[in-house]
Structure 1
Amino acid sequence: MPTLRPPELDRLPELTTALAARAAEHDQDASFPYDGVELVHRAGLLTATVARRHGGPGGGLADTTRILHALGAGDPAVALVTAMTLFVHAAEAREPHWPAGPLTELLAESAVRPTLVNHVRVEPELGTPVRGGLPATVARRDGDAWELTGRKIYSTGAPALRWLLVWARTEEAEPRVGSFLVRGDRPGITVEPTWDHLGLRASRSDDLLLDAVRIPLDHTARLTAPDPDGGRDALGGAWNSLGLAALYLGVARAAQHWLTGFLHERTPTSLGAPLASLPRFQTELGAIEVELDGAERLVSSLATAVDAGEERAAEQSPGAKLLATRAAVDSVQRAVALTGNPGLTRRHPLQRHLRDVLCSRVHTPQDDTVLLARGRAALLHELPQPL
C-alpha cells in the first residue's frame, strides 16, 4: 500500500480563504470546483481517514469535523464531496469490507491525485434507502462479471467521482443487496446534468445512468440478503451526522463573518456611526455567536466522545445534527433579517450562505426520523412500572 501524506491541519485557515475566493464563481456557474478539490488533496485532507494499516494517517471523527467546518466556511460544495470521500475511507478503516484489488487501486490513485469516492444510492422511485425498500438498480451476473443497470439521482460530485459504490440488488431467485464497486470511467456510465438546485449548486449532484456496466464479480461490498432495518450502522450514522453538522456550521460562520464586516462598514448618514455601534445589532450578533458557539461545542465534544468509544455518543449524534443544523439555519436567517436588502443582494455572499445552509435539512438523518427514533427510545426507556 502507498504511504499517504498526513493532513496539514495547520493550513485549514489558509484553505478556507482560498476556497472562498472562487466559491461565488462556482455557485453562479454551477460548475464543479475541481480547483478546490485539488487544494484539499494537496493538503492531504482527502485521505485523512484512511486506516494506518493501509498507509494512511488514521484520522478520527474529531479531526474530520474540524476539516469539514473549515472547508464548509470556504466552499461547502468542496466540503461535501470531501466529506463523502472521508466517510468511505473511515468506514473501511472501522470494518474492512472492500476486496483487495479495488482498494489497492483506490489508495494508489489517492496518493498521486484527487480521488473522489461516494455512495450512489438514491433513486427516482425509491427515494432515500434509509426509509426502506429495495433498489431498482439491478446487477445481473454474466459469466465472470456483474452487469449493472439503473438510474441514481442526487449523486454528489457525479462528474468527478473516480469510484462509485452503487447500491443495487442482484437478479437472483433470492435477491441480495449491497454496494457494487465501480470505477467512474467504466463504459456504460453517463452523467446527466440534472442538478439545478437552490443551494450547493457546485456540488453537481447529478443523475448517473448505468447501462449494462460490467465489473468483476469480486467488486462488491456487504452483499447480503435484504435487511428490514436497512443495515443500520450507528457509528457510520454518527460520522455522517456530526461531519455534516460541522460543515454547515462552517457555512454559518462564513455568514457571521460577512455580517460582522458589514456592520462595521455600513454607516448610515442619519446615524453618523457604523451599525456596529447600535445595541440592537450588537445583541443580534451576540445571539448568533452564542448559538453557534454552543452548536460547535456540542459537535466537537460528541465527535471526541465517538472517537473514544464513549457509551451512547453515537446514539446521541443524530440529535446533535438536528440541533446544530437548526442553529446554523437560524443564525444565517437572523443575519439576513438584520441586513435587509443588502443581505439578499446577489453581489454579497450572504444570500449564497442562506441558500447553502438550507441544504442541511435534506441530508440523512432528517429531523422527523431523528425525533421519531429518539421519542420511541425514550418511551421504551421510561416505560412505567406496574403498580
Structure 2
Amino acid sequence: MTFAAPKLDELPEVTAEIAAHAAEHDRTGDLPWPGLEIAHRAGLLTATVGTRFGGPGLGHRDTARILTALGEGDASVALLAANNLGTHAAQAVHPSWPAAAYDDLLRRSEKGPALANAVRAEPELGAPARGGLPKTALTRDGDGWLLNGRKAYATGGTGLAYHVVWAVTDDDRVGHAIVAGDNDGITWVDTWDHIGLRASNTHDVIYENVRLPLDAFVEIPRGADGVYRDPAAATGPGSFGHPALYIGVARAARSAFAEYARHRVPAALGRPIAETERIQSVAGEIDLQIVQAETLLHGALLRLEAGDPGLLPELSAIKVAIARSVIAATQTAVAALGNPGLSRHNPLERHLRDALCIRVHPPQEDAVLLASGRRVLKKESEK
C-alpha cells in the first residue's frame, strides 16, 4: 500500500470545499461524511502514516498546517482528522498495534475515510487525565479476551473503523484494546448534544462481551516507581494537533467578521462598517490574537525540532496560551457585532461555539497553572 503525500499548497481549496457543508452538519449533528470524503481525496487523513507503512510520514508542523486548514472549514471534520492523524503518527514512531489490525485499517484507508480514535473517558471516571483507572475490563477467555464496559465522549461514533479502548485486564495490567468498529457486542448510545463540535458524534459506547484476539491488548508500562501515569496527561509535539485545528476556527471567525463588515451598511452611516475606525480596530485585535496563537504553535514546534530541552516544561502553558488567544479572537468578533454575531444566520455563532471546545482537551487550564506555579516557586526557592 502506498499513500501519496498531500499537496499542502492546495489546502485553501480544500478548506473552501469542506466549509460548504459545515453549517448543515452542525444543524443535523450527522457525521460530516462529505467533508471527510474531501479530506480523504486530498490525502489529508493518511498524511502521518509512517514511511515504513507506505505513507508520507508528515511531521508535526505540516500536520498542524493541515489541521488548521480543516478547522477553518469545519471543526468537527478537523477533530475527527486530528484524532486519526495522531493515531497514525503514534504507530509510525512506536508500532504497537497487531499487524493484522493495522494492515486492515490501512486497506480501509485506501478506499475511503477510515477513522481511528482513542476511546478513554468513562461516565464515572470523567476525564482520564485527572487520574484514576478505567472500569472497562478485559477478561481472558480461552485464547483471547472479552471486553466489557461503557465509555463516554467517544469521538467519531459509528464512523470509527477502529477503537483504541483504554482498559484494565483481569490480572491488573493497564493498556489499550485495539477493537474493530464492526465487532459484535458494540452498542452506541446517542448522548452527544453539545454546544460545539456538534457533528463530531462524540457519543457513549457500550462493550458487551466483545471477543478479541490475545494480541489485541497493548499494555502501557507503569513507571519505575510502579505507578501508572496516564499518557494523555503528558504534553508533547503530537498533542498540538487539537490547538492547531482551533486556530483554524479562529481564522474562520476572522473571515466571517470581515465578510459581514464589508457588506453591512447602516442607513445612518451610509457606508460599510468596515470603513469605520472602530471596526478596523476590532479586526486588528482579532488578527493580533490569531497571529499570537499561530506564532506560539509553530514557534514551539520549531523549537522542538531543534531539540530545545528547555521547552518541554512549558508546552502545557503554551497550549493554554493558544486556547486563550483562539477564544479571545472569536469572542471579540461576536461581541463587536452584537445580535447579528449571535444569530444562527451568521456563521460567527457556530465558530464561537466550536472555539469554546478547545478548553476540554487535556491538560486543562487549572491543572496547567497549578503545575507551572509550583515549578516556578520551587525554582525561585532554590536560588
- Mapped partners of 2:253, 2:124: distance in 1: 36
Q: Which residue in 1 is equivalent to 2:62?
A: 63
Within the alignment, does 1:216 sit opposite 2:213 as a pair? yes
- Rounded to whole Å, the distance in 2 between the matches of 1:3 and 1:124 is 40
Q: Deviations over 1:125-155 (max 9, x none)?
A: 1011111111010101100111000001101
How does the TM-score come out when normalised to structure 1?
0.94
Instruction: Show CA shifts across 1:48-73 (max 9, x none).
Output: 11111111111111011101100001
Change (3 A) 1:21 1:277: same
Change (3 A) 1:119 1:82: same
Structure 1 residues 209 and 199: alpha-carbon distance in aligned structure 2, compared to 1, 3 A threshold: same
Q: Give the residue type in structure 2 aligned to 1:190.
A: T
Query: Equivalent of 1:205, from 191, 202, 205?
Result: 202
Aligned to 2:90: 91
Out of 360, 363, 378, the residue aligned to residue 380 of structure 1 is 378
SS at match of 1:218: helix
Whether the aligned pair in 2 keeps the contact of 1:85 and 1:117 (CA below 8 Å) is yes
How do residues 259-298 of structure 1 correspond to structure 2 at under 5 angstroms?
Answer: 259-298=257-296
User: Which whole-Å CA distance do the structure 2 matches of 1:228 and 1:275 have between them?
Assistant: 59
Question: 1:255 & 1:26 partners in 2: Cα distance?
Answer: 18
For the pair 1:192 / 2:189, whether they are aligned, the reply is yes
Q: How far, CA to CA, are the matches of 1:250 and 1:147 in structure 2?
A: 41
Q: Is the CA contact (8 Å cut-off) linking 1:6 and 1:44 kept in structure 2? A: yes
| Structure 2 residue matching 1:82: 3-state secondary structure | helix
Contact 2:173/2:219 (<8 A) preserved: no
Structure 2 SS opposite 1:271: coil
Tell me if the contact between 2:71 and 2:249 (Cα under 8 Å) persists in the aligned partners: yes
- The alpha-carbon distance between structure 1 residues 355 and 234, as it changes in their structure 2 partners (threshold 3 A), is closer
Distance 2:259 2:272 in 1: 10
Matched with 1:170 is 169
Task: Quote the Cα distance in structure 2 between the aligned partners of 1:37 and 1:130.
Answer: 28
Which residue of structure 2 aligns with residue 344 of structure 1?
342
Amino acid at match of 1:123: E
1:305 deviates by 2.6
**How big is the shift at 1:353?**
0.6
Instruction: Give the Cα–Cα distance (whole angstroms) in 1 for the partners of residues 2 and 307 of structure 2.
Output: 27
Query: For residue 129 of structure 2, what is the amino acid of its counterpart?
Result: V
- In structure 2, the partner of 1:370 is 368
Quick one: which amino acid aligns to residue 170 of structure 1? T
Deviation at 1:348, TM superposition (A): 1.0
Among 252, 257, 278, the alignment partner of 2:255 is: 257
Unaligned regions of 5+ residues in structure 2, if any? none
Letter aligned with residue 222 of structure 1:
E
1:321 maps to which residue? 319
Distance 2:296 2:83 in 1: 22
**Counterpart in 1 of 2:34?**
35
Residue 180 (structure 1) aligned to one of 156, 177, 180: 177
Structure-2 residue corresponding to 1:46:
45
Q: Cα offset for 1:376?
A: 2.1
- Aligned-partner residue type, residue 255 of structure 2: H
Shift of 1:223: 4.3
What is the Cα deviation at residue 381 of structure 1? Answer: 2.9
> Does structure 1 conserve the Cα–Cα contact (< 8 Å) formed by 2:233 and 2:362?
no
Give the aligned partner of residue 128 of structure 1.
Answer: 127
Secondary structure of 2:150's counterpart equals strand
State the alpha-carbon separation in 2 of the partners of residues 71 and 350 from structure 1: 17
- Equivalent residue number for residue 79 of structure 2: 80
Identical counterparts, % of pairs: 47
Q: Is the 8 A contact 1:121 1:129 kept in 2?
A: yes
The residue aligned with 2:158 is: 159
Aligned to 2:45, the other structure's residue is in SS state coil
Kept in 2, the 8 Å contact 1:91–1:236? The answer is: no
TM superposition shift of 1:224 = 4.0
Contact 1:62 1:307 (8 Å CA) reproduced: no
Corresponding pairs, count: 381
User: Tell me, which stretches of 5 or more residues in structure 1 are unaligned?
Assistant: none
Counterparts of 1:122 and 1:344, CA distance in 2? 32
Quote how far apart the aligned CAs of 1:297 are.
1.2
Displacement of 1:103:
1.8
Superposed CA RMSD in Å reads 1.7
Q: Distance in 1 between matches of 2:206 and 2:312?
A: 34
* Segment drifting more, 177-186 vs 52-61: 52-61
Report the alpha carbon displacement of residue 231 of structure 1 after superposing the two structures with TM.
4.0
The residue type equivalent to 2:270 in the other structure is G
Instruction: Name the stretch that deviates more: 376-385 or 202-211.
Output: 376-385
Alpha-carbon distance between aligned partners in 1 of 2:220 and 2:44, rounded to the nearest angstrom = 30
Letter in 2 for 1:338: A
CA contact (8 A) 2:222 2:228 kept: no
